Structure 1
Amino acid sequence: MRAIQVTEYVKDPLDLTVSELPTPSPCADKYLIRIHAAGTNFFDLLQIQGKYQHQPPLPWISGMEFAGIVLSTPSASKNPRFAVGDRVFGATQGAYATHILSAEASLFPLPHGWSFDDAAGLFVTAPTSYGGLVHRANVQQGDWVLVHAAAGGVGLAAVQIAKAKGATVIATAGTDRKRQVARDFGADYTIDYTDAKWPEAVKKLCAENRSGNGKAGVDIVYDPVGMIEQSLKCVAWNARLLVIGFAAGKIEKVALNRVLLKNVSIVGLHWGQYATFEKETTVSVWNGIFDLIRQGKFRGTSFTDETFVGLESIPRALKALGGRETWGKVVVQIPDDKSPGKDSKL
């Protein structure tokens, strides 16, 4: 098989190389899958630089999210969930490759009518947003939800989930193109968060459009960036603020007097730990996501302004992701391997 194997940490994703490696052999407890699309994530960038909290021992294959076709089932399983030829998506270390071994617990069937591209970007973003909005913030019909970085992968998932639950969505993004994408996925209003006065714009929107309740603020803030402190300026009484991540690179310190005065709740979400501490919640979250997909209320968020094809394009895709040049989920297509080139420089 071909794969992007990391033998030493790199500063720039463009320094990654493609290697020829032995194709994994079918085994007792894992499925062998031919990957047809791989999703990119910011933590992939951190991993290749040696900066992530979970660093596999060198050498290792980069990437986590994928979609593909089952080539073989676990030999020790008498009743495997998936059969040879099934289309699946999941997350397992080593997704930047043509083949991967994956445990059954890390796999789901491709939603009906979905492409490999869209499914490859579903495993991380959708449950993060559904778990945050539904299980942590208890989003309700009639709520007003402020989604930061709304044109990103988790942002577009959050926009769709909030709308599906009957909320009004204010989406923030830094460019005209990204604000248009947020609207295309259902956002009711958009705000430019590069304008220092954006909290006042949010309050004005609420004051002018929230009928009958006089609330000059939002009920829920979904924040994968690190904008809780500023968001406290434009929340309503009893607001719930979701700490999803710190994409801006700075961990905030919040003035707790604001938390007290507006009777707000600030809650975190570490989705990756639910499989350890709350397995029953992961089942509920995925059931909810698949219900929304079946109802036509949630669709894939693959970036379509540019196409990335082949393992050779993964460094370029990661570079674009890190430079915040993209929207939605940046996915790389991995077609049938017809390209030679052991350890070819990209």
Structure 2
Amino acid sequence: MKAVLCVEHGGPEKLVVADIALPEPGRGQVRISVKAVGVNFPDTLIIQNLYQFKPALPFSPGGECAGIVSAIGEGITDVAVGEQVIAMTGHGAMAEEVIANRGQVVKMAPGMPFDIAAGFTMTYGTSHHALKQRANLQPGETLLVLGAAGGVGLTAVELGKVMGARVIAAASSDEKLELCRQMGADEVINYATEDLKDRIKQLTGGKGADVIYDPVGDRFAEPAFRGIAWNGRYLVIGFAAGAIPALPLNLPLIKGASIVGVFWGAFTQAEPALHRENMEELLRWYADGKLKPHVSRHFPLAEGAEAIRWMMDRKALGKIVLTV
């Protein structure tokens, strides 16, 4: 079978497409014939050996996929060959077939297209866990989303509206902000041309944002935090802009605010039952038409390196998906 392989750490240009042996599922595992693969920011890090998880070389990137179960291992009784599933693999999904542990697999919603399913788990899962368990976002509160047109950012905009919040979307271009409006944002901020802290205060009547969702980091973190409300929650999602920011700790003190870490991958391992409940709720919302995932570009499997480069260059609006 064919797979996109990282044989040495570095940029996506070092990735190769190669034939590898068909894997066999062990006890408690399923093999999936991959139909589509979601491309995510962690893919850009894992190939450079910069991610929290560091698989041994060679490995295939790709942390999530959708496909059809092609084989089951010993002990599997609730998933059958031929069923359509989503798998959260961490890595390895940029291949024609992939092995997943049973706990990493959920069944697709009826009628769900493979490309939508492939890009659903990581982004919606991260944002849902962040807003529900970590921020305890309440109806009527104001949610500010940085990097709002990216993969996780756009899902935070959607979920914020589903959860009853007033949503302010912040991004770096008018094109990105128009997409955020289409996905439900109440107000927008172009932080390439506007003062982020001042605009937050203007749009909130001086109160500030109750919850700030930050997958960007770098120079945007401090002005965003200076626009947080009393008792606000600042969600640390990631650092897509590059540098990990250092916030002056007097800011959370004077604001009575919290800096809250969000590590969704670790959450799924530490609290699998709650993770399953979250996924069931998200898939219900999708089936009810409350969520409308946005896939902006498809690449074939053989162009996995180009897809990751597209992500690294911050060209993605919503999701990028590989089709197999």
Classify the secondary structure of the residue corresponding to 1:330.
Answer: strand
Amino acid across the alignment from 2:79: F
Correspondences of 1:154-303 after superposition (within 5 Å): 154-195=152-193, 197-207=195-205, 216-226=207-217, 227-303=220-296
Aligned residues: 321
Computed over aligned residues only, the root mean square deviation of the Cα atoms, in angstroms, reads 1.7
Q: 2:121 aligns with which of 120, 123, 131?
A: 123
In the alignment, the residues of structure 2 paired with residue 250 and residue 323 of structure 1 have an alpha-carbon distance, to the nearest angstrom, of 15
In the alignment, the residues of structure 1 paired with residue 187 and residue 27 of structure 2 have an alpha-carbon distance, to the nearest angstrom, of 51
In the alignment, the residues of structure 2 paired with residue 75 and residue 278 of structure 1 have an alpha-carbon distance, to the nearest angstrom, of 24
Q: CA deviation at 1:85?
A: 1.2
> 8 Å contact 2:8–2:14 — kept in the other structure?
no
Amino acid across the alignment from 1:302: V
Comparing 187-196 and 167-176, the one that deviates more: 187-196
Query: Normalising by the residue count of structure 1, what TM-score does the alignment of the two structures yield?
Result: 0.88
In the alignment, the residues of structure 2 paired with residue 168 and residue 69 of structure 1 have an alpha-carbon distance, to the nearest angstrom, of 39
Query: Normalising by the residue count of structure 2, what TM-score does the alignment of the two structures yield?
Result: 0.93
Q: Does the C-alpha gap of structure 1 residues 221 and 99 become closer, same or farther in structure 2, counting only changes over 3 Å?
A: same
In the alignment, the residues of structure 1 paired with residue 229 and residue 48 of structure 2 have an alpha-carbon distance, to the nearest angstrom, of 41
Classify the secondary structure of the residue corresponding to 2:260.
Answer: strand
1:146 aligns with 2:144: yes
Match of 1:58 in 2: 57
Q: CA deviation at 1:283?
A: 2.8
Percent sequence identity over aligned pairs: 37
Comparing 224-233 and 319-328, the one that deviates more: 224-233
Classify the secondary structure of the residue corresponding to 1:163.
Answer: helix
> 8 Å contact 1:228–1:241 — kept in the other structure?
no
Match of 2:84 in 1: 87
Q: CA deviation at 1:198?
A: 2.0
> 8 Å contact 1:3–1:18 — kept in the other structure?
yes
Q: CA deviation at 1:109?
A: 1.0
Residues 80-99 of structure 1, C-alpha deviation per residue, up to 9 Å, x if partnerless?
A: x2211111111222111101
Classify the secondary structure of the residue corresponding to 1:94.
Answer: coil
Classify the secondary structure of the residue corresponding to 1:61.
Answer: coil
> 8 Å contact 1:63–1:94 — kept in the other structure?
yes
Classify the secondary structure of the residue corresponding to 1:250.
Answer: coil
In the alignment, the residues of structure 2 paired with residue 234 and residue 142 of structure 1 have an alpha-carbon distance, to the nearest angstrom, of 18
Amino acid across the alignment from 2:96: T
Residues 214-266 of structure 1, C-alpha deviation per residue, up to 9 Å, x if partnerless?
A: x5321111111113321122222221111111112222222222222222122
Gaps of 5+ in 2: none
Classify the secondary structure of the residue corresponding to 2:319.
Answer: coil
Amino acid across the alignment from 1:329: K
- Specify the structure having the higher radius of gyration (Cα): 1
Residues 115-172 of structure 1, C-alpha deviation per residue, up to 9 Å, x if partnerless?
A: 1111111121111101111111111111111000011111111111110011110001
1:134 aligns with 2:132: yes
Classify the secondary structure of the residue corresponding to 2:132.
Answer: helix
